[in-house]
Every structure is written in C-alpha cells, then in structure tokens.
Amino acid sequence: MTDRPLNRHHWLYRGLTLKDILTFVLSLLLPLMLGIFTIVISFHEQNVVTQQRIEDRQLAREQHKQDLNISRQHCGQDWNTSFEQHAQYKEIARLQRLQDELKHELDLNISRVQRELDKEIAALKRAQDNDFAEKRQNLSFSQSQHELDVALNRYRDILLVSYVKMIGKFLQDSKGNLSVDSLIHNLIRAKTLIVIRQLDPVRKRHLNLFLYEVGILTYGQSPIVLSSADLNDIDWMGSNLSYISLVDVTMRNNSFFYCFLIGVDFHGQQTDLSDSNFYKGNLQHALFHHTRLHRTNFTSANLTTADLTRSILEAKAIIECSYFNNASISKEMFDHSRISHVSFYRTAAIYSTFRKC
C-alpha cells in the first residue's frame, strides 16, 4: 500500500515526475499570470489613458468653448468698452472744444472789457486832468478875481474918500451954500453921477447918506438932481431919510425896512421903485406921483397924506395893514395888487382902479 501512493506521486512522464510538471506549470503560471495581469493592466491603463484623453479632449473642447464664450464676451465687452470709450472720447473732445470756445470767447470778452476799461480809465484820467486844470485855472482865476476885487474895492474906497473930500472943499469954499454958484452946482452933479456909476450898492448908500447929511439932497434946499442915477439894490434899513429928494432916480429892489421917509420926494416919470420894500416905513407926506411901483411892498407902512397921483402901482403890489389916510391916489391903478387891512380914510381915489385885487 505504501508503494501505490508512492508510485502515484512519482510516476514519470517522459522522465518527468508530476512534481516536476507541477513545478514547471507553476513556474510558468506565475509569469503567465503576471503577463496577463500586465496585459490587463496595460489594457486598463490604455483604456484609462484613452478615457483620460477623451475626457481631456472633452475638457479641452469645453474649455475651448468656454474660452470662445469668454473671448466673445470679452470681445463684446471690449467692443462695448471701445464704443463707450469712443463715445467718451467724443464727449471729451466735444467738451474740450466747447471749453476752448468758451475760453476763446472769454479771452475776447476779457480783451474787450479790458479795452473798455482802459478807455474809461483814460477818459477818467483826462477828466481828472481837465478837472485839475480847471480847478487850478479857477483857483488862479479866483485868486486873480480876489486880487481884482481887492484892488477894485481899494479903488472905490479911494474914489469915495476923494469925492467926500472934494464935496467938503466945495462946501467950505461956498460956506455951505452950493446953490449960489450954478457952475459948482452942475459940476457937483456931474461928478456925483460919474462916481455913483463906479460904486457898489454899499458905497452908494454911504455917498447918498453923506450928501443927505450935508444938505445936498434935502428937499426944499435946492438939492442936486440925480436923474438917471443907478441906485438899485441898496439896503437903507433903519435910516432916517426924511425930506430926501431923489427925483427921476432908478431905485429898484431897495430895502426901506423901518425907515423914516417923512416928506421924501420920489416923484418923477423916470423914478422906478419896483420890487422895493417899505415894510413898516413912515412915508407920511411922501411924494410918489408918476412913480413906477411894480411889485412894491407897503406892508404896515404909513402913507398918511402921501401923494401917489398917477403913480403906476399895478402888477402885484403888496399893500397890507397900511394907512393911506388923507392921501392922494387920484388916477391910481391898484390892478392885480394884494390889498388887505388898508385904511383909506379921507383919501381921494378919483379915477383909481382896483381890478382883481
């Protein structure tokens, strides 16, 4: 029994035992399996590589599509951006042109304004220069005028003093009676008229007061007749000129406020007392016949027994609160005069008119 199994395990096949065959088969099986495994692995790897390649291609296609889409988007965005930039560039260019035009127009306006300003400054400077020259000329003229006035006043003073001395000499030589010598009388009249023409109203007043005080102009003492003499604009305020004789004399705009003019002789067709004022003057027995009394003011004056026969008192004379008692106003015209609170007691107003009073 022990030989059979031994024989079964040790039988020969062409001189090879089963063990050898099995060993041989086993020795071939391992490389074969390794080869098969290797081939399988190779096929698997190849499949994996192929699948990976396919996937890579698919990924590449998708990536390419994505890249194309991105590229298209970028192109669209770039085009939009380019269009927007182009529009922005156009807007910037337009704004730049507008700014340049505005700057150019502003420069023109500034130049025009500067020219106008320069003209105005030049005109103002010329005006200032002219004004300065005119002021300097006026100052020079004023200085010259002042010097002329001073010289003229000095001359008038000298003239008045010389005249007073001359009259004093005549009075001394004639022992106070100039009417004795008609030649001296006429000489004094002529000299007086010449001097009066060269004097101002203030010195004319002094001259007439001097003549009145020495009796040359006193009514009833053969006074000299100063007919046509200019005695306008003299202020006699408060003076006592009673019985003074100024016949046919021009005495416009004289002021006789509060003056004593009793018995004054202002008669004559050439005597003109227009615009004079006898406010509160005492004119009793005054002679005004044929005298011009336009716009003369007799407010509160006393003309008792005054003679205004044929005097011209129209043209808005003012006679208020005055007294014409026992006065003679025959053929007097009071037309357009303002008469209120006036007393005409025992006054003869024969043929006198009071139209529109």
**What confidence tens digit (pLDDT) does each residue in 119-144 have?**
888 888 888 888 777 777 777 777 77
Average pLDDT, the chain: 78
Instruction: Give pLDDT tens digits for 231-258.
Output: 999 999 999 999 999 999 999 999 999 9
Count of other CB atoms within 10 angstroms of residue 346: 11
Q: How far apart are CA 63 and CA 65, in angstroms?
A: 5
pLDDT value, residue 347? 47
pLDDT value, residue 241? 93
pLDDT value, residue 204? 96
Q: How far apart are CA 272 and CA 169, in angstroms?
A: 32
Instruction: Give pLDDT tens digits for 74-122.
Output: 666 666 677 777 787 888 888 888 888 877 887 787 788 788 878 888 8
Sign of CA dihedral 165, 167, 172, 176: negative
Instruction: Give pLDDT tens digits for 22-55.
Output: 777 777 777 777 777 777 777 777 777 788 888 8
Sign of CA dihedral 320, 324, 325, 330: negative
Cβ atoms of 245 and 226 within 8 Å: the answer is no
Query: pLDDT band for position 56 (50/70/90)?
Result: confident
- What is the architecture, at CATH level 2, of domain 215-357? 3 Solenoid (2.160)
Nearest to 241 by CA among 265, 223, 220: 265
Q: How far apart are CA 127 and CA 116, in angstroms?
A: 16
pLDDT value, residue 354? 53
pLDDT value, residue 180? 63
pLDDT value, residue 323? 45
Cβ atoms of 247 and 220 within 8 Å: the answer is no
pLDDT value, residue 6? 46
Cβ atoms of 240 and 219 within 8 Å: the answer is no
Domain range annotation of the chain: 3-77, 215-357
Sign of CA dihedral 92, 98, 102, 105: positive
- The stretch 319-327 carries a mean pLDDT of 50
Query: pLDDT band for position 351 (50/70/90)?
Result: very low
**Residues 6 or more apart in contact with residue 328 via CB below 8 angstroms:** 289, 305, 306, 307, 308, 309, 347, 348
- The stretch 60-79 carries a mean pLDDT of 74
- DSSP state, 220? T
**Residues 6 or more apart in contact with residue 101 via CB below 8 angstroms:** none
Instruction: Give pLDDT tens digits for 191-237.
Output: 999 999 999 999 999 999 999 999 889 877 778 889 889 999 999 99
- Percentage of the residues of the chain whose pLDDT score is greater than 90: 22
pLDDT value, residue 14? 57
Dihedral (Cα; 286, 291, 296, 297), 10-degree rounding = 10
Query: pLDDT band for position 261 (50/70/90)?
Result: very high
pLDDT value, residue 114? 80
- The stretch 150-178 carries a mean pLDDT of 87
pLDDT at 349 over 80: no
C-alpha angle 331/345/273, rounded to 5°?
Answer: 50
Q: How far apart are CA 162 and CA 113, in angstroms?
A: 70
Q: How far apart are CA 258 and CA 324, in angstroms?
A: 17
Q: How far apart are CA 198 and CA 229, in angstroms?
A: 11
Q: How far apart are CA 124 and CA 347, in angstroms?
A: 71
pLDDT at 264 over 90: yes
